[in-house]
């Protein structure tokens, strides 16, 4: 069920590039931790199903270096992680720290479909940027960098991800301070 964050007549300013970047860095660190825990759990389950000795032999021989099932599990877990926060409160942990939120244009929480669109566009942009960097070196960032930059960061208050998912990233006002008790 969609959650209304504020009244229709209240307009929040779009989040600036610096706040978005800082939230991305913060969430990136949290994502690394989530992926590490997921990989650990996957390894335990896979080793118990296959057998610990056989799994260890497969690891040592290098047959587990490109495990498509693990990659798929990590991708889905990362989407569920971001989708949960975006659809519930509109804010991941990094977005809460930097007081920004994803919402629909009318101030309502985004749907899972919108979250999926945001996630897939971001994943594609990151994959394309890393692929170019890996294959063609740092000079490829001159060509691909502006495109990746344009996907994540706003031009006239709206990024490509915002447009494609029909949502917006806004700056959340600071909570009102409570008067001190005497």
pLDDT per residue as tens digits for the range 66-125: 788 889 999 999 999 999 999 999 999 999 999 999 998 888 899 999 999 999 998 888
pLDDT for residue 157: 73
The b-or-e profile of 132-165 (16+ CB within 10 A means b, else e) is bbeeeeeeeeeebeeebbebbbbeeeebbbbeeb
Q: Tokens representing 81?
A: 């992680």
Overall average pLDDT of the 125-154 stretch: 73
Specify the range with the lowest mean pLDDT, choosing from 50-54, 145-149, 166-170: 145-149
Of the candidates 83, 105, 86, the residue with the CA atom closest to the CA atom of residue 95 = 86
DSSP classification of residue 175: P
Confidence tier at 29 by pLDDT (50, 70, 90): very high
Percent of the chain with pLDDT over 90: 36
pLDDT for residue 33: 97
Name which residue leads in pLDDT, 1 or 41: 41
Of the candidates 5, 11, 71, the residue with the CA atom closest to the CA atom of residue 35 = 71
Whether the per-residue pLDDT at 49 is higher than 70: the answer is yes
DSSP classification of residue 13: P
Whether the per-residue pLDDT at 62 is higher than 70: the answer is yes
């Amino acid at each position: 069920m969609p959650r209304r964050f504020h009244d229709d007549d209240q307009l929040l300013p779009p989040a600036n590039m610096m706040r978005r970047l800082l939230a991305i860095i913060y969430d990136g660190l949290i994502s690394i931790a989530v992926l590490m825990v997921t990989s650990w759990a996957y390894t335990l389950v896979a080793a118990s199903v296959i057998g610990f000795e056989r799994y260890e032999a497969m690891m040592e021989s290098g047959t587990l270096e490109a495990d498509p099932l693990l990659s798929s599990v990590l991708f889905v877990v990362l989407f569920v992680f971001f989708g949960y926060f975006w659809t519930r409160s509109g804010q991941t942990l990094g977005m809460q720290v930097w007081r920004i939120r994803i919402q629909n244009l009318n101030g309502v929480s985004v749907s899972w479909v919108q979250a999926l669109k945001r996630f897939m566009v971001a994943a594609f942009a990151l994959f394309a940027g890393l692929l170019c960097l890996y294959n063609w070196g740092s000079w490829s960032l001159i060509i691909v960098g502006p495109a990746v930059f344009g996907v994540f960061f706003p031009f006239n208050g709206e990024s490509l991800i915002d447009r494609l998912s029909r949502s917006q990233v806004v700056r959340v006002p600071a909570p009102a301070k409570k008067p001190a008790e005497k």
